[in-house]
Amino acid sequence: MDEYPSKQATENLDDPPNSRLFAVISRSLSEDELRESFSVFGDIQGIWVVKDKQTKESKGIAYVKFAKSSQACLAMEEMHGKVLVDGTKPIKVFIAQSRSSNRHRDVEDEELTRIFVMIPKTFSEEDLKDTFKEYGDIEYCVIIKNKSTGESKGLGYVRYYKPSQAALAIENCDKTYRAILAEPRNKASASEEYSGGPSRGDYMGGNEPMNQYAFPMAEPGNYQVMDYRSGDFTRCLMVATRAALSQEQIFALFDLIPGMEYCELQRDAYGMSKGHALIRYSNLGSAVYAKEKLNGFEYPPGNRLAVNFVDDGEDRGSPVGRMAMQLVAAQMMSAVWSGPSTSQVMKPPGFSPMSSMSRIQADVSLPSMKKLAPPDSKTKERLFVVFSPSPLPLDVLEDVFCRFGSLIEVHLVPGRKVGYMRYADKQCADEAMAVLHGRIVNGVKMKVMLADPPREESHKRPRTT
């Protein structure tokens, strides 16, 4: 398959990184139609529609190369799920992985939103946020500090909500920050950009080589796990999980307790989860509450989380410090046992009203539940849903999607991370799509789109009970 003109040098296709899109399109779309639709986002350097060598017909796959990563990311955000020409199916758009990579060629959004920067050691987290907020909305900022002294190491992370915002920051911020994407990579592929100066491992204060893209954390066994019954409370928690939870799922769960400053799923040199994450809160009370409410909590069902306090490097050896720590902890423990207004603690802004650890946890306000439409109702609209990292249970999906009215049934495709929703009213389906597309429910991100109409009525799946 000749995807690209031979005159184009292969190495230029990934220069700059993440500037090339991979699109699943209708076979009837032409290169000119793609160019017209995508050119509004920036300078297009090339468009290639993949064609069958024998028939010369489109295979429904195309690549679009932009001059800048920010242009490609913006195009991905805006064009994914759009219908370009009436009568054709919605297109799917991803950032194409490097041609030299042996990984999956489509990069997930979460890998494109966090940047790693070198900063003055005098910077506070507020300074870091003020410096980079001009490029987009920031989800969180973290300054890496010495565990023993609490002093800044001159390094930090900035997490944006959108890939295009992170790309703009990398492209336009002062070069002294040496901003790069913080996606996990192995040591052998580390950029040579920093070879002229001290390595990032040197900045960390260690002598061992380090994955420059990964947060410099030790194995969980190297952390001092605290026993909360003896008064050893800290603002930091170590979370262990046997299930393959994503960063997004852990963040969504622990962000239910207000005050979370930092959440990082630990990965190995190849980007694989190590099965544990580090959480830090801005205050001791929130950390104690999170430990009490989430240690032993099954998420997802059958996977019991283990949550423990870990040494956060703060000096609590003085009598005053220990008394203050025990006072705050005692107040929080009293609140936990007496069962006060749990909703005040467990309901941060942006989440729909719910009781503590209710079955449905969403980052958007949901309407009240409505009855299902009769199973023999005629289908007026079908929605196609893509789940990341894994599908939600059928009963949860039915609970969420029925709230917009006229839901007939929910169907999950076995072995795949997709599903279909059948509605008896088109307006109800459109409202569900508008409210739920891109939202997170129980730690799972959903992409909600209009489904392609079935080719034959007989192909529709009958409702099962």
| Cα 41 to Cα 145: distance, rounded to the nearest angstrom | 39
Has residue 465 got a pLDDT over 60? no
Has residue 9 got a pLDDT over 90? no
Q: 25-34, 77-86, 119-128, 359-368: lowest mean pLDDT where?
A: 359-368
Could you tell me the two tokens for 228?
């909360």
Could you tell me the two tokens for 4?
């690209």
For the residues 242-251, what does the mean pLDDT come to? 81
- Find all residues with CB under 8 Å of 330, minimum gap 6, and list them: none
If pLDDT is split at 50, 70 and 90, which confidence band does 318 have?
A: low
- Whether 396 contacts 441, CB under 8 Å: yes
Measured in whole angstroms, how far is the alpha carbon of residue 86 from the centre of its chain? Answer: 32
Q: Name the phi and psi angles at 79, rounded to 5.
A: -100, -20
Q: 245-254, 371-380, 454-463: lowest mean pLDDT where?
A: 454-463
Our CA dihedral for 74, 78, 80, 84, rounded to 10 degrees, sits at -120
Count Cβ atoms within 10 A of the Cβ of residue 50 and give its class: 0-12 exposed, 13-18 middle, 19 or more buried: middle
- pLDDT given at position 276: 82
Has residue 83 got a pLDDT over 50? yes
Run of H or E residues at 131: helix 125-132
- The total of other beta-carbon atoms located within 10 Å of residue 107's CB is 23
Has residue 107 got a pLDDT over 50? yes
- pLDDT given at position 312: 60
pLDDT digits (tens, 9 = 90+) for 110-168: 678 889 899 999 999 999 999 999 999 998 999 988 888 888 888 889 999 999 999 99
Q: Name the phi and psi angles at 240, rounded to 5.
A: -110, 135
| Cα 176 to Cα 159: distance, rounded to the nearest angstrom | 19
Amino acid at 403: R
Question: pTM of the full predicted structure?
Answer: 0.42
- pLDDT given at position 200: 36
| Radius of gyration in angstroms for the set of CA atoms belonging to the chain, rounded to a whole number | 25
- Find all residues with CB under 8 Å of 324, minimum gap 6, and list them: none
pLDDT digits (tens, 9 = 90+) for 328-351: 555 544 444 444 333 333 433 333
Run of H or E residues at 64: strand 58-66
31-38 contacts at long range (C-beta below 8 A, 24 or more positions apart): 31/62, 33/84, 33/85, 34/62, 34/64, 34/84, 37/79, 37/82, 37/84, 38/64, 38/75, 38/79
| Cα 360 to Cα 354: distance, rounded to the nearest angstrom | 8
If pLDDT is split at 50, 70 and 90, which confidence band does 233 have?
A: confident
If pLDDT is split at 50, 70 and 90, which confidence band does 99 have?
A: low
If pLDDT is split at 50, 70 and 90, which confidence band does 65 have?
A: very high
342 or 418: which leads in pLDDT: 418
Owner of token pair 């901003």: 179
If pLDDT is split at 50, 70 and 90, which confidence band does 416 have?
A: confident
